[in-house]
Structure 1
């Protein structure tokens, strides 16, 4: 099946919520999670689409998380499971992608998209914002458990992109490392030190995540009385 961008979404950080809400999840918070569709060509730069920013730049965004992708095929499943009419962009993604999901996209894949060239850098690590956006306390955990996480892109060559653009696979340097397999390494308990080490050594993996993984397996092999990380995804939001 041909891969293509089904839709493009962007947002700038702004406040959402109601100061008088009874539930904490309904109270004011500042986020760029509420993505809105873009019509026509949009410029894709090295760290952002034009009109898109992150509300928490300490943990989100940057060169290895310039674009968040989510599989269009997940939406009908979520709609049925949750009984909610979730729109594209509902999981905070910039590109809603047809013809691909976590089981068919590999770390390091290089794509031609419109005028741009991009590379898959890491799985998306689900954070609490997914749950708060939809007022469902267990939703972030369900995203992680189902491995319907999405994935990030780094930008190798800037250019304009537009909804409907075909995505052409140019290179696949790590065919054994699907996004799904990488997520399995991150979230399966107990962790396999060998698998963690193998994922950390994938050359195209985002350096920030690779560093966290390297610290994990180093500590896993340390004497038992030394402090350890909680897990390989600690600090890698």
Structure 2
């Protein structure tokens, strides 16, 4: 397990489908040490605070293992941070990490809260109209960390597992139920009951459970 790159970027205005759009998806790798608060990484920012950032989504994480797939799709080499992630990591793919898993990154302690939910801004960033759908179909979504202990980190910070979550809900499994196995009430309830799950995903799964029982 290791940090490949630390990436930050402030919201900027772009034109998408003829309309002005403000987005924080454009991130650039940095080599300096940055402070991580319970809300976000120093020097970083999000445009739509309704769906990005905040305590449950303080850090966006993306596995470098998926870059080869996207480079083949797009026919070009991609720089770390292309997917709007704060941390590009190695050895922490969605099929192996669980919601609630806790890690130390140097002096910072973080915990996985939910898969990353791709939006249309990714399509603009990659110049790929179905990028969000492809991310859902492949399961190459990445995920979010909440910050349990604030501190500073850099790309040279050591990354180590502190504790695996007992529920054993992998990010890949949560994605599978969210996007594909949508009527599996038992699975939905199991995920919703995961203590470390973000508030927004918990609310979404509980709402779906009520609809299935109606």
Give the corresponding residue for 1:178.
170
* Largest Rg, 1 or 2: 1
Aligned residues of 1:13 and 1:31 also touching (Cα < 8 A): yes
Residues matched between the structures, number:
214
Q: Give 1:84 deviation, angstroms.
A: 2.2
Output the CA distance in 2 between the equivalents of 1:149 and 1:34: 17
TM-score, normalised via structure 1 length: 0.86
What root-mean-square deviation, in Å, do the aligned CA atoms of Structure 1 and Structure 2 show?
1.3
Q: Give 1:76 deviation, angstroms.
A: 1.5
Q: Give 1:81 deviation, angstroms.
A: 2.4
Structure 1 residue runs of 4+, over 6 Å off?
none
Give the corresponding residue for 2:158.
166
TM-score, normalised via structure 2 length: 0.95
Q: Does residue 1:31 correspond to 2:55, yes or no?
A: no
Q: Give 1:14 deviation, angstroms.
A: 1.3
Change (3 A) 1:26 1:134: farther
Indicate the SS of the match to 2:7.
strand
Q: Does residue 1:128 correspond to 2:126, yes or no?
A: no
Unaligned runs of 5+ in 1: 18-23, 223-237
Match of 1:114 among 106, 109, 125: 106
1:147-226 correspondence runs (5 A): 147-174=139-166, 176-222=168-214
Change (3 A) 1:151 1:180: same
Q: Give 1:82 deviation, angstroms.
A: 2.1
Deviations 1:181-221 (A, max 9, x none): 11101011442111111110111111221112111101210
Q: Give 1:78 deviation, angstroms.
A: 1.2
Unaligned runs of 5+ in 2: none
Match of 2:51 among 52, 56, 59: 59
Give the corresponding residue for 2:3.
5
Output the CA distance in 2 between the equivalents of 1:159 and 1:61: 17
Indicate the SS of the match to 1:209.
helix
Q: Give 1:141 deviation, angstroms.
A: 0.6
